[in-house]
């Protein structure tokens, strides 16, 4: 999947156990290494940035936490620069933006990120009820 024109870097991503389970499962289903999945998510995110998609806005309500893991990511240099610039514009860490890109990619492919068992019993907020 990686080419000679890609620049490889190692990023430290953090998810809780459930998040890592989803990421591992998605990589396994595709027959990819975790780094390939994250790289693919960055490429997809770059397309979204180019289109000006609102979904590129990383959530600011959550603090990065969970278990951190080093993941090799290989994407074109220009995309690295775009991701760094976008992270600066949003005032978030590059790693947080890449975590967001990965969740967007998984949600886009599967239609919706799977919910944790504890979320299944929660009621949705009723703020849109008329």
Q: Look at the chain and report how many structural domains it folds into.
A: 1
**Where in the sequence is the domain holding 38, given as residue range(s)?**
6-115
pLDDT recorded at residue 4: 52
Q: Is residue 123 part of a domain?
A: no
Say how many CA atoms lie within 13 Å of 79 toward its Cβ.
Answer: 24
pLDDT at 128 over 50: no
Is pTM beyond 0.85? Reply is no
CATH number at residue 82: 1.10.1220.10
pLDDT recorded at residue 117: 40
Q: Is residue 79 part of a domain?
A: yes
Q: Is residue 127 part of a domain?
A: no
Tokens of 113: 């990120």
pLDDT tier for residue 97 given thresholds of 50, 70 and 90 = very high
């Amino acid at each position: 999947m990686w080419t000679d024109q890609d620049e490889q870097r190692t990023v430290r991503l953090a998810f809780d156990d459930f998040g890592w389970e989803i990421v591992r499962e998605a990589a396994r289903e595709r027959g990819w290494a975790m780094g390939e999945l994250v790289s693919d998510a960055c490429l997809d995110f770059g397309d979204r940035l180019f289109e000006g998609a609102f979904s590129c806005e990383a959530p600011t309500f959550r603090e990065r936490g969970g278990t951190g893991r080093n993941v090799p990511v290989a994407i074109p240099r220009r995309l690295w620069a775009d991701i760094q610039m976008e992270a600066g514009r949003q005032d978030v860490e590059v790693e947080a933006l890449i975590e967001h890109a990965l969740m967007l990619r998984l949600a886009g492919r599967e239609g919706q990120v799977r919910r944790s068992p504890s979320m299944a019993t929660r009621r949705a907020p009723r703020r849109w009820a008329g």
